[in-house]
Amino acid sequence: MNRTLVIVVMVLVVVALVVSLLTTVDAAASASYRERVDRLARTCGIPQVVGHFALSEARARLADADALMRESKPEEARAQVRAADAAAAAVDFDKLKWRAAAGFGDAAGVETDELLILMNRDMAFAFDRTTLRLCGLYDPASNHEYVLTSTRAPAPTVIGKIVLLKPNPEGSRWREITITEFDDCRRRHAWRSTPTGIELVLYWEGIGVPSYEGWDESTVPTEPGVVDVVVRVSIEPEGMSRWSCRVANRSADLGLQNIEFPVIGNLKAWDEEDPVDFNAFGEPRPTDKTRPGGGFLGMMEVQDQCSNLRFGYQAYYGRNGGVYYLPEDPEYLWKECRPRTDGETRTATFSHAYFALNHHGEQVKRFEATYPVAVGIFHGDWYTAARIYRRWAIRQPWCAKGTLAERDDLPDWFKQREFFQQGGGASMAGYELDQRIAPIRIRQQVPRLLPTEDGRGGVQAGHRPGS
């Protein structure tokens, strides 16, 4: 018994020494990084933003060190902290160089040797100028970086995937061919002026279609260089950015079904001083898989993914503020929203899929988004995000007539119902349509609010229990 107790005490002492040593090393080795972060907080404008992104390598090293500590690998974590210090020490703010590529008031397009930076007074996006990957979303007001990039969380491509359809000549079935690789194509960029701001245009030209199994079970070879994607990210002097895209499909036998865009990740709203983050419902720790129920970013979550939300905003925030994401679609077209979490890096990712019209065998060769996706930073909580959404929603057709109390096109009995319940949900199957028909415009929604003769339908009026 005494021998066991001695061993336990010795183990505890060793663990305490390792933790103490690592803490000391972290405090010393991160001095260069912390000094530069503190200096950035006293800077403003383009120098602040360029200086922040110049520290990206140091932040990536510290993120790797944090992951290694969670895996109980203190020696490797110390090496990453030292590497972070060296990377930060190599950044001389007084010698940073950049070129102003576009401007409109406080909206600016800036280029460095490595980055394309699109910014206004509220936020700044950074893209790798070679790969066009998103490698930063910075909030100058709080000095907080939302996009976590590291060895374990590499910079994401803003295009998640492109899905093409192969028809079966002998029937009505379709086969999906998915493109997920966008590095083996030509990439370039351009800056443009808009009436109210500036726009960064990103080009992926000559994307190849991977090989796939044909209907006769033979292998259909790769079709190189047949898909082009043009992405536009526009920004005004303040407020949200807006993202849209265009797709050209020159494949001989394949039609376009959908494109997942824009993918905004790996988002980290928490920090070491306050490791609690929140989803759009105000629920804490949505990226923490150890919490009861696991990570949870949105409703209808299946395998960390929430889909088929045809309108509605997404939000993710911490003590410094958060990221807001909304497909600004006034026509209620079919789409998929795919927020998800990663428990290993404790990050969140927002994405959304545009569906092209592919009706009864028509081969879609060109698609252009008819609505943008708004992406931006907000300061506050779930209520703040809801108010941002409300300001947009009340200008859309389904809310433009005012509140139910103000409207004169609905019967009084409908307005005076105490309780409403919507059942069934919206899905392709629910509307007796298959994957060949998209987008779907859900027309004349208000009549669907009224109960049908057989008691079935979308939204039904009800009473309080006992009434």
Q: What is the pLDDT of residue 302?
A: 37
Q: Are 149 and 85 in contact (CB under 8 A)?
A: no
- The residue among 173 and 331 whose pLDDT is bigger is 331
Map tokens 């994957």 to a residue: 435
Q: How far apart are CA 110 and CA 117, in angstroms?
A: 5
Q: What is the pLDDT of residue 335?
A: 86
List of residues 6+ apart from 67 with CB closer than 8 A = 150, 152, 344, 345
Q: What is the pLDDT of residue 198?
A: 97
Phi, psi of 163 (to 5 degrees): -110, 125
- The residue among 435 and 110 whose pLDDT is bigger is 110
Q: Is residue 407 pLDDT above 70, yes or no?
A: yes
Does the N-terminal peptide bond of residue 266 adopt cis geometry, omega within 30 degrees of 0? Answer: yes
Mean pLDDT, residues 330-352? 87
Instruction: Provide the terminal-to-terminal Cα distance of the chain, rounded to the nearest Å.
Output: 70
Map tokens 């997920």 to a residue: 180
What is the tens place of the pLDDT at every residue in 142-195? 999 999 988 888 888 999 999 998 877 666 567 889 999 998 899 999 999 999
- The b/e string for 357-366 (b: 16+ C-beta within 10 A; e otherwise) is bbeeeeebee
Query: Quick count: other Cβ atoms within 10 Å of Cβ 439?
Result: 19
Tell me the pLDDT band of 121, cut-offs 50, 70 and 90: very high
Handedness of CA 149, 153, 155, 157 (dihedral sign): negative
Q: Which of 119, 113, 102 is nearest to 47 (CA)?
A: 119
Q: Is residue 91 pLDDT above 50, yes or no?
A: yes
Mean pLDDT, residues 39-65? 87
Tell me the pLDDT band of 301, cut-offs 50, 70 and 90: very low
Which top CATH class is 161-393?
mainly beta
Q: Which of 300, 355, 341, 377 is nearest to 145 (CA)?
A: 377
Q: What is the pLDDT of residue 297?
A: 73
Q: What's the Cα-to-Cα distance from 164 to each of 16, 173, 350, 366, 437, rounded to whole Å? A: 56, 13, 22, 12, 13
Residues pairing with 108 in the sheet: 103, 119
Q: What is the pLDDT of residue 168?
A: 73
Domain boundaries, the chain: 1-96, 161-393, 412-462
109-118, 173-182, 215-224, 281-290: least confident range:
215-224
Q: Which of 198, 163, 153, 77 is nearest to 343 (CA)?
A: 153
Q: Is residue 316 pLDDT above 90, yes or no?
A: yes
Map tokens 């700044």 to a residue: 124
| 3-state secondary structure string across the chain | CHHHHHHHHHHHHHHHHHHHHHHHHHHHHCHHHHHHHHHHHCCCHHHHHHHHHHCHHHHHHHHHHHHHHHCCCHHHHHHHHHHHHHHHHCCCHHHCCCEEEEEECCEEEEECCCEEEEECCCCEEEEECCCCCEEEEEECCCCEECECCCCCCCCCCCCCEEEEEEECCCCCCEEEEEECCCCCCEEEEEEEEECCEEEEEEEEEEEEECCEECCCCCEECCEEEEEEEEEEEEECCCCCEEEEEEEEECCCCCEEEEEECCCEEEECCCCCCCCCCEECCCCECCCCCCCCCCCCCCCCEECCEECCCCCCCEEEEECCEEEEEEECCCCCCCEEECCEEECCCCEEEECEEEECCCCCCCCCCEEECCCCEEEEEECCCHHHHHHHHHHHHCCCCCCCCCCCCCCCCCCHHHHCCCEEEECCCCCCHHHCCCCCCCCCCCCCHHHHCCCCCCCCCCEEEECCCCC
Residues pairing with 137 in the sheet: 125
Q: Are 15 and 4 in contact (CB under 8 A)?
A: no
Residues pairing with 347 in the sheet: 342
